[in-house]
Chain A
Amino acid sequence: AQSVTQLGSHVSVSEGALVLLRCNYSSSVPPYLFWYVQYPNQGLQLLLKYTSAATLVKGINGFEAEFKKSETSFHLTKPSAHMSDAAEYFCAVSGTSYGKLTFGQGTILTVHP
């Protein structure tokens, strides 16, 4: 079985500051890990995906995530926050089933001017 824990339901940063959103996973099989973003009244947009090809994964909009097996973590970072980054972010894990992702509870990112 797979599970995901996102540490911090709300994160607030200033524009231009580092963004760090934390995600820890549990998986009985090699995990495939994802970060999705959800803007208000919209669906989920894929930011990036880890599939074991490289531990550092670069995604869209300047985001990246590092897979650390020893820490069972897959934290999302962005060097400099923009106002447009304000949204809810979800970490997710999949196993061997098509279409089935297990999501974390989400982290709402607020960006202050």
Chain B
Amino acid sequence: KAGVTQTPRYLIKTRGQQVTLSCSPISGHRSVSWYQQTPGQGLQFLFEYFSETQRNKGNFPGRFSGRQFSNSRSEMNVSTLELGDSALYLCASSLGDRGPANEKLFFGSGTQLSVL
């Protein structure tokens, strides 16, 4: 079974631009979560999607948005990029319907975003 696939692996953007990151979950997984990882703030939860609906959201500004398609693939968009958005963005997939206690998150290798 293929794992969680994130594309692209690396991105370089300039301030003010927008960016879209993609995540393909493990086959059969319907939940996709997104995390931001930085040296200063560590791993922080952005949001989670299940069956094309956002179920949970972290404490990030509205510039960060996401969506999920009918095949469970998910995209994350960041508009008006700031220098502080430079980070490793990780997505994770899980079945999404067994109760949070029974869920196991499987992570992709991430997209390294650099904002210049």
For A41, the chain B residues whose CB sits under 8 A away are 109
Contact A103 B43 (CB under 8 A): yes
Cβ-Cβ contact count across A and B, 8 Å cutoff: 73
Bound-complex Cα distance A49 to B101 (A): 10
Binding stretch for chain B, among A16-24, A66-74, A76-84, A93-101: A93-101
Interface string of B103-116 (1 = CB under 8 A from A): 11111111000000
Instruction: Name the interface residues of B13-49: CB closer than 8 Å to any CB of A.
Output: 31-33, 42-45, 48
Q: How many residues of B contact A (CB 8 A)?
A: 29
Beta-carbon contacts of A7-18 to B below 8 Å, as 1s and 0s? 000000000000
Is the beta-carbon distance between B4 and A43 smaller than 8 angstroms?
Answer: yes
Kindly supply a per-residue 1/0 record for chain B positions 86-116, scoring 1 wherever the CB is within 8 Å of any chain A CB and 0 otherwise.
Answer: 0000101010100011111111111000000
Q: A44-B107, A46-B106, A103-B42 are in contact. Are A98 and B50 (CB under 8 A)?
A: yes
Which chain B residues border A106 with CB–CB below 8 Å?
A: 42-43
Q: Which of A42, A43, A98, A102 meets B103, CB within 8 Å?
A: A98
Q: Known interface pairs A44-B90, A103-B43. Does A97 touch B109 (Cβ–Cβ under 8 Å)?
A: no
Residue in A36, A51, A90, A99 whose CB lies within 8 Å of B48: A99
Of the residues A44, A99, A103, contact of B56 by C-beta under 8 Å: A99
CB-CB under 8 A from B103, the residues of chain A are: 94, 98-99
Asked if B8 is at the interface (CB within 8 A of a chain A CB), the reply is: no
Q: List 6 A-B contacts (CB under 8 A).
A: A46-B104, A94-B103, A95-B100, A98-B55, A99-B48, A106-B42
